[in-house]
Structure 1
Amino acid sequence: MQIILLSRRHGAARSLSLELRWLLLTLAALVAIALGSGVAVGAWWAPQSPSLQDNAQITEALDRQRAEVGAVRVDAQRQLDAFAAHVAELQARLTRLDALGERLTELAELDSSEFDFSLDVGQGGPEEILDGAAYAPPPFISTLDELALRLDSREQQLEVLEQLLAERRLDEAEYLAGRPVLQGYVSSPFGRRTDPLSGRPSVHKGVDFAAKAGSAVVAVAAGVVTASGRRSGYGNTVEISHADGYVTLYAHNRRNLVQVGDLVQRGQTIAEVGSTGRSTGYHVHFEVSKNGRVVNPTSFIARVSGVE
């Protein structure tokens, strides 16, 4: 292989002769040098690049964990705020229960020392050390336990009060007391009298109350209606059976408002004032018997709310 060289100054030409094998060897050497340089640069860069990538990943993971911790902290604070509000609500409800219990005790005229809602819950016993006793529960757990105990105690006391008051209301409801009319006056007492129609001496088995026609006739105690209809001499009559063998009778009604078997309460309207049967005017004949024997109703009429 010949290479011709030309000179600009002298215009002369020179020729060089190169063999092909030497040219190939030269090119191979240049390629080897280039490859060696690339390997060296790669060897220098390789340890550097993964280190920077790892640092970026670690930084990203730390940022992500910080964000998660911040979210957990915010959620925990929100739950603590909700818990504190719940505890405050429980304490307010407990305070109202205490006030209600004290008021009920006062109204029921019970022994205040027996139902003292201001006292702490009685509890105690020998100390038993459990395994792992070094662990102390968080303060709010103790607060919840204390509130639960106090609420349980108040519920038990109020249940006893409710039972006592229910029994008292039942006793008072069955206790004969009051007048069979809301407005009116005694027009004929119990006992011996002159019959208003015949003029002859007679025995009056009840007490008559003169009242406005159509006004309410009310039961003087809770009981069961055992008769409701017309009766000879009495006209429209209602009969109610009560506890302890007592029976009350309301006669001369214009209209009866209850039927046999009805349960009635004290003060409930059972009829309307009338003048049916053997009567001279609008009134109610009120009669009381015990175990089949007529008794003077005056003492029951004088009672108010079960108190003589």
Structure 2
Amino acid sequence: MKVILINRKHGGSRSIELGRWSCALLSLCCLGFAGLGYLAGMDAEPRSLRGATLDSLQDEVESQEESLADLREDAQRSLQAMTLNLAELQARLTRLDALGEHLTAMAGLEDGEFDFSQPPALGGPMADALGMELQRLDLSTGLKSLDDKISDREKQLGVLESMLSNRNLDAQAWLSGRPVEKGWISSPFGQRTDPFTGNPAMHYGVDLAGKEGSNIIAVAGGIVTQTGEQTGYGQYVELAHGDGFVTRYAHNKTNLVEPGDFVRKGEPIAIMGSTGRSTGPHVHFEVYKHGRAVDPASYMRRTRR
């Protein structure tokens, strides 16, 4: 086999004579190079596919890591918020317990009633052991438990407050004692000789003499319904106590309250004087029950509630 080689630079040519074995060897070399090229081309495509797949998986992993980081931040914020809420609820519960114990002591309740120093009584059948192992107490469970406790305490305090309020109102509205801090009965309720005419007359109250300028006090809590000056009474104060009871305090030197005021039991409402139809410093004290004058002496002898 003859092979001609041409030199483009010098324009010459050269021929090489190849034998049978040389041709066979050259053919084998060409086939080998062609096979290697084919195999290289076949391997390049899977490698490019594998590279694209790896890139996609890597992007997905990075995205999942970012999502996980966001979830961790959200969980941390939620945990902090729940922790603060739990601490606030615990503080509220402590204050409620302290207030409950104080109110219980003030109310003078029997031992064991509204006992805020002891945990509430709980009970129930024993749970399944496996269920107990699987049960997980988290912050939300703690918050729910504390919220229930606080609601229970608030209900107890509401009932206790109502009881104290009712007791206080009953004690305030209870007519008892004298309308003066110091003094003596100078004229009782009922028929008497009129000090100005000398004739028999009905006396619808009790006169209590004392020192001019001393306090006249309310025998029960109530609302001031009338004040001012009236013929015979002079300066006077009238109180409504509820349940049909009204008290009147007359011949005052000065009134200390005005209509619409709320007064408590024992509170000064006027200054003793001798205004109106009076012979000297005293308070004319009347008690009305459902519009009818009754003897104040029975209420003056009452003990305080």
TM-score by length of 1: 0.66
How far did residue 277 of structure 1 move?
A: 0.7
Q: Is the 8 A contact 1:211 1:284 kept in 2?
A: no
> Does residue 207 of the first structure (1) align with residue 205 of the second (2)?
no
Against the structure 1 CA distance between its residues 120 and 102, is the aligned structure 2 distance closer, same or farther, given a 3 Å change threshold? same
Distance 1:172 1:6 in 2: 134
Q: Is the 8 A contact 1:287 1:297 kept in 2?
A: no
How far did residue 170 of structure 1 move?
A: 1.0
Partner in structure 2 of residue 266 of structure 1: 264
Deviations 1:24-43 (A, max 9, x none): xxxxxxxxxxxx99987654
Instruction: Give secondary structure in 1 for the equivalent of 2:183.
Output: strand
How far did residue 51 of structure 1 move?
A: 2.0
Opposite residue 54 of structure 2, the aligned amino acid is: N
Against the structure 1 CA distance between its residues 195 and 104, is the aligned structure 2 distance closer, same or farther, given a 3 Å change threshold? same
> Does residue 186 of the first structure (1) align with residue 183 of the second (2)?
yes
Distance 1:163 1:102 in 2: 15
Opposite residue 44 of structure 2, the aligned amino acid is: W
Q: Is the 8 A contact 2:175 2:220 kept in 1?
A: yes
Against the structure 1 CA distance between its residues 206 and 57, is the aligned structure 2 distance closer, same or farther, given a 3 Å change threshold? same
Deviations 1:189-234 (A, max 9, x none): 444999887899997822134343xx87553323355655544422
How far did residue 77 of structure 1 move?
A: 2.3
Partner in structure 2 of residue 78 of structure 1: 77
How far did residue 171 of structure 1 move?
A: 0.4
Partner in structure 2 of residue 154 of structure 1: 153
Q: Is the 8 A contact 1:229 1:237 kept in 2?
A: yes
RMSD, matched Cα: 4.5
How far did residue 269 of structure 1 move?
A: 6.3
Note the 1:175-254 alignment, pairs <5 A.
175-177=174-176, 180=179, 185-186=182-183, 189-191=186-188, 205-212=206-213, 218-223=217-222, 228=227, 230-243=229-242, 246-253=245-252, 254=254
Deviations 1:59-78 (A, max 9, x none): 23212212221221232123
Against the structure 1 CA distance between its residues 155 and 257, is the aligned structure 2 distance closer, same or farther, given a 3 Å change threshold? closer
Partner in structure 1 of residue 135 of structure 2: 136
Distance 1:162 1:256 in 2: 31
Instruction: Give secondary structure in 1 for the equivalent of 2:90.
Output: helix
% identity of equivalent residues: 40
Partner in structure 2 of residue 49 of structure 1: 48
How many residue pairs match? The answer is 272
Opposite residue 186 of structure 1, the aligned amino acid is: G
Distance 2:271 2:247 in 1: 16
Partner in structure 1 of residue 300 of structure 2: 300
Distance 2:36 2:54 in 1: 28
How far did residue 95 of structure 1 move?
A: 1.7
TM-score by length of 2: 0.66
> Does residue 60 of the first structure (1) align with residue 59 of the second (2)?
yes
Distance 1:250 1:160 in 2: 37
Instruction: Give secondary structure in 1 for the equivalent of 2:114.
Output: coil
Instruction: Give secondary structure in 2 for the equivalent of 1:242.
Output: strand
Partner in structure 2 of residue 114 of structure 1: 113
Against the structure 1 CA distance between its residues 152 and 288, is the aligned structure 2 distance closer, same or farther, given a 3 Å change threshold? same
How far did residue 145 of structure 1 move?
A: 3.9
